[in-house]
Amino acid sequence: MSAIAEPPSSIHAPVPDSAVGQIASRAMIDASTRLPVLLFFGAALFWLLAGSLFGFVASWKLHSPLFLADWSWLTFGRIRSAHLNAMAYGWASQAAIGVGIWLMARLCRAPLKSAPVLMIATGLWNLGVAIGISGILAGDSQSIEWLEFPAYATPLLFLAYGLIAIWAVIMFASRQVGHVYVSQWYLLAAFFWFPWLYGTANILIQGIGVNGVALGAVNWWFGHNVLGLWFTPIGLAAAYYFIPKVIGRPVHSYYLSALGFWSLALFYSWNGMHHLIGGPFPVWLVTASIVASIMMTIPVVTTAINHHMTMRGHFHMLGLSPTLRFVVFGAMSYTVVSLQGVSMAFRSWNKLTHFTHYTVAHAHLGLYAFFTMIMFGSMYYIVPRLTQCEWRSPRLIKLHFWLSAYGIIAMFGVLSIAGLAQGAWLNDPQIEFIKTVQVTIPYLMARSLSGVALTGAHFIFAIHFGLMLLRLGRTGPEPTYFENKRHDGGAVEGGQ
């Protein structure tokens, strides 16, 4: 801490000694997270590309079943699960961990502690994902959605995550600010709940070996809560940090943000059984989950109002900041996907949409338009602060944004329409089953094309990220914020 205690001489406004001396500077904290965060980001991007290719193959097979039909390990049942798991555990979870580590250190106002623990966790996690996906492709899938990894891969993931959870506790204990910011509540919750969910589900399924009705319950309790208690809190933690931070304005209502967090924390774990509407399952449990789903409008609406009111008067900033573009797109999608999710929990609507592509559209809206877009935005903010250089090309960032945005909107649109057509016909006993399949084919072709746009966006981003790792980013006197700081002799120097 002493290295940055002296305020730089050329800075315009003198910084009071007390503020700089007591707590480590922001740049120094950022620098301390460099290695683990970049490792998680790099690995996440690798799986994003792999997952995109898996997704493409799976999507293409839906309208052209003879495509790559000669390889057993590329059959739809395997490649589709490989896509889901590469995206959920390879990409989304590792991006979440990277963003979580960086935010945690910043919000604790303390340099990163126990970095080696995190490096071991990265290694174990990626080993687990690689073994798991190889297992799925080899035909060892568990056939339980979201938990397809074979039993020999899951302990590695659990161990890796356990290390991260312990790290989060150590880090939280070393915090230098008394107040726990709303983002930090979300982070702590996510770091604590995910191992709980993952451990419980795997012990019940692999250890105790539940089956039948109980297996369905465990499956969807996990499958839904992993979204709501792992991805959602990390996404919202990032949104609650980056929106105010980028526009330079505190959250509109801190009361609402507290209400949003605590209502999510108290009620979310009752969600999940509404995935089993109409199934051979205790009706009271399904009803309890439907009620919990409807309760979720409280955190969703409070968060939506809060983010909108924070942004009010600052929407022009969307034209200046890549981070803000991605994060606001994600935050808006969060509102849409959550309210759509509530509607899908109603029995009447579920009867039409269940077992159709409508559900697939909903899943992509959640994990991509909401979560992945917020992760992209966060990475655009974090990476330059770790590599000490600017993104090479603002044009590539724009291309990435528009390919991703149009791609996911198109995918959501065509899959939703396909799903509704499919659902309406499935409910009509006069219509032959094959027609309910044929009606979706043009939409599925359009979906494959939207997937190509998304895959293109991912490759662009990965190349851009690679250039940053090689320190080939811009360092010229461009008028970006980061450069201004460097030339002011500001805190950036403290990082090296």
Partner 1 sequence: MSAIYLLILGSMVLLGATAVLGLFWAARNGQFRDMKRGARVIFDEEEPVGMPTDVVFKKREPRRRKAAAHP
Burial label, 88 (beta-carbon count in 10 A; 0-12, 13-18, 19+): buried
Segment 402-431, which members bind partner 1 (CB under 8 A)? none
Contact flags string 12-31 toward partner 1, x per CB under 8 A: -x-xx--xx----xx-----
**From CA 26, how far away is CA 415, in angstroms rounded?**
44
CB 449 within 8 A of CB 439: no
Q: With respect to partner 1, which residue has the nearer C-beta, 46 or 181?
A: 181
For partner 1, the binding residue among 67, 71, 196, 402 (CB under 8 A) is 196
If one asks whether residue 269 binds partner 1 (CB under 8 A), the answer comes out as yes
**What does the radius of gyration of the chain's CA atoms come to, in whole angstroms?**
23
Task: Tell which residue, 320, 264, 324, 271, has the closest CA to residue 293.
Answer: 271
For partner 1, the binding residue among 92, 218, 277, 337 (CB under 8 A) is 218
Give the binding range for partner 1 (CB under 8 A) out of 33-41, 214-222, 338-346, 354-362: 214-222
Pull the structure tokens for residue 426.
């499935």
Q: 3-state secondary structure string, 75-119?
A: CHHHHHHHHHHHHHHHHHHHHHHHHHHHHHHHHHCCCCCCHHHHH
Q: With respect to partner 1, which residue has the nearer C-beta, 124 or 229?
A: 229
Q: With respect to partner 1, which residue has the nearer C-beta, 335 or 480?
A: 480
Burial label, 396 (beta-carbon count in 10 A; 0-12, 13-18, 19+): middle
Q: With respect to partner 1, which residue has the nearer C-beta, 182 or 345?
A: 182
Segment 96-135, which members bind partner 1 (CB under 8 A)? 107
Segment 293-322, which members bind partner 1 (CB under 8 A)? 317, 319-322
Give the binding range for partner 1 (CB under 8 A) out of 46-54, 82-90, 212-220, 297-305: 212-220
Q: With respect to partner 1, which residue has the nearer C-beta, 89 or 181?
A: 181
Give the binding range for partner 1 (CB under 8 A) out of 63-71, 266-274, 341-349, 418-426: 266-274
Minimum distance from residue 5 beta carbon to partner 1 (Å): 13
Q: With respect to partner 1, which residue has the nearer C-beta, 41 or 267?
A: 267
**From CA 267, how far away is CA 362, in angstroms rounded?**
21
Segment 472-491, which members bind partner 1 (CB under 8 A)? 478-481, 490-491
DSSP 206: I
CB 261 within 8 A of CB 303: no
**From CA 421, how far away is CA 296, in angstroms rounded?**
28
Minimum distance from residue 264 beta carbon to partner 1 (Å): 9
If one asks whether residue 168 binds partner 1 (CB under 8 A), the answer comes out as no
Count of alpha carbons within 13 angstroms of residue 107, beta-carbon side? 26
If one asks whether residue 177 binds partner 1 (CB under 8 A), the answer comes out as yes
